[in-house]
A and B are shown apart, each in its own frame.
Chain A
Amino acid sequence: AQSVTQPDIHITVSEGASLELRCNYSYGATPYLFWYVQSPGQGLQLLLKYFSGDTLVQGIKGFEAEFKRSQSSFNLRKPSVHWSDAAEYFCAVGGGTYKYIFGTGTRLKVLA
């Protein structure tokens, strides 16, 4: 079955610390992978996407993600977190069709 798992419901980090949000997927075909961020009261904004090619993808706001096919993972990273990064983060997977599967999200809290 196709699925996306974000194992961490909540993560708390101190401002300036590094961040890694985990995403594991199960998908029968070549996956297209996305990370979105949702600030309170807002819609989802695309951070980055992976379709093919270089497995390390750079996104907006200093985020990056690495596609690891052998581990079925697409973890999101940031070397130094800012207070404004506090939000909810969603991983999503799609294929050659219009259907996307979203994870349940990871809520990030940043301590000053």
Chain B
Amino acid sequence: GAGVSQSPSNKVTEKGKDVELRCDPISGHTALYWYRQSLGQGLEFLIYFQGNSAPDKSGLPSDRFSAERTGGSVSTLTIQRTQQEDSAVYLCASSPKTGPYEQYFGPGTRLTVT
């Protein structure tokens, strides 16, 4: 079946602009994660959605970052007033349910802020 998809694959934006990154998880997966991967760094947890529960936003680095998940499926990560330090690869992952289950990752969106 289809895996996790993300769009766009690459995004170049000017400093100060807003960007939206989209994630389409595997059908039926209730858990959805966003991570940020900077050069030479591991994966930085950003936000977690599980079904209809309130999301865990504890990893969002600033109030310029927000995310939503509509209908328990597609998720959008929004970065307002982008800064150069926001440049990174943003990865989305989904999992069948919560707990110690493996995550299925999308190919990522490479964001470059100029």
Contact = CB atoms under 8 A, between A and B. Distances in A.
Interface of A: 4, 9, 32, 34, 36, 41-46, 49, 51, 90, 92, 94-100, 102-105
Contact of A42 (B41, B56, B103, B107): B107
Given A43-B4, A43-B93, 11 more contacts: A34-B102, A36-B105, A46-B104, A49-B102, A95-B100, A98-B48, A98-B50, A98-B56, A98-B98, A99-B45, A102-B35
Interface residues on B, range: 20 to 34
B108 interface: yes
Contacts, number: 55
B25 interface: no
A97 B58 CA distance: 14
A105 B91 contact: no
A8 to B, nearest CB: 13
29 contacts: A4-B42, A32-B100, A34-B102, A36-B105, A41-B107, A42-B107, A43-B93, A43-B107, A44-B91, A44-B93, A44-B103, A44-B105, A46-B102, A46-B103, A46-B104, A51-B100, A90-B42, A90-B43, A92-B43, A96-B99, A97-B99, A98-B48, A98-B50, A98-B56, A98-B98, A98-B99, A99-B45, A102-B42, A104-B40
Contacts of A41: 107
A16 to B, nearest CB: 29
B2 to A, nearest CB: 13
Contacts of A98: 31, 33, 48, 50, 56, 95, 98-99
A102 B106 CA distance: 16
| The 4 nearest A-B residue pairs measured at CB | A43-B105, A32-B100, A102-B43, A104-B42
Contacts of A100: 45, 103
B21 to A, nearest CB: 14
A98 B50 CA distance: 9
B30 to A, nearest CB: 11
Nearest to B9: A41
Interface in B81-101: 91, 93, 95, 98-100
